[in-house]
Structure 1
């Protein structure tokens, strides 16, 4: 356990595009979207831990070798960023945040989920896997619920 720059960078890479929503909010946000509460709790607990644990365990992350798993994490980020580009290019319509990418449903939820699960596998850590799974369950169910309600 210990701080290291890599521990800050890994969660920040996922968080950065989301920060743009502070200044460039989506258009046409429906008022009636209501995901199930328990999954929102799972999602928030998972988010907080997935974003803070890499910071706290930065030295563990820095000691890990770059391998196939880090390459897969990078691919997840690239696809995630491409989805963000599609969102901004399409006029920031709320529905685009949940629009499938070819045969991949809700890619803007799926790729951050995969990223954090791959991070847990890369670190060979149950401590990282548990919040990643909580985040995955909550984020996927909430995003799917929103997608279903906005179609």
Structure 2
């Protein structure tokens, strides 16, 4: 783990933020009601994880660069983010109903929550940054927890 700006982290974050910004401008009907019932603890963990993942993804450079076998972790992280983009494309292509946000992508449950968390865990391993890995785990506890609760509330 070493300090330095990470262009790879910037690309990963762009893949994360761009569809979320588009979604935020046109949230599905009923989402605000679900959000009001979120656990305050889960919301806090999600927010802490969001800030920590964003910062650590940008400020830690990968000390070994693109050398094998470490490169496989980065490839896996990008593959998960590509599946994340596919899940968003499916959502935006369809009718954008609330339940569509929580529909599995093949065998992947809650893909809009699980895929980016797993991707940033793999990215943190590639960076050799325990801080990024821990931040992604904290994010995952909150974000996946919230999505799981929403899915249960919708009885999906």
Alignment TM class, shorter chain as reference: 0.7 to 0.9
Give the structure-1-normalised TM-score.
0.87
Q: CA deviation at 1:124?
A: 1.8
**Aligned equivalents of 2:24, 2:146: Cα separation in 1:** 20
Report what 2:20 is aligned to: 18
**Aligned equivalents of 1:92, 1:61: Cα separation in 2:** 38
In the alignment, structure 1 residue 54 sits paired with structure 2 residue 57: yes
Aligned pair count?
149
After superposition, the C-alpha distances for 1:107-136 in whole angstroms (9 at most, x for unaligned) are 111100101110111112211121111011
Gaps of 5+ in 1: none
**Aligned equivalents of 1:124, 1:4: Cα separation in 2:** 13
Q: Is the 8 A contact 1:109 1:143 kept in 2?
A: yes
Gaps of 5+ in 2: none
RMSD over equivalenced CA pairs, Å: 1.9
Give the structure-2-normalised TM-score.
0.85
Q: Is the 8 A contact 1:26 1:93 kept in 2?
A: yes
Q: Is the 8 A contact 1:6 1:61 kept in 2?
A: no
In the alignment, structure 1 residue 128 sits paired with structure 2 residue 132: yes
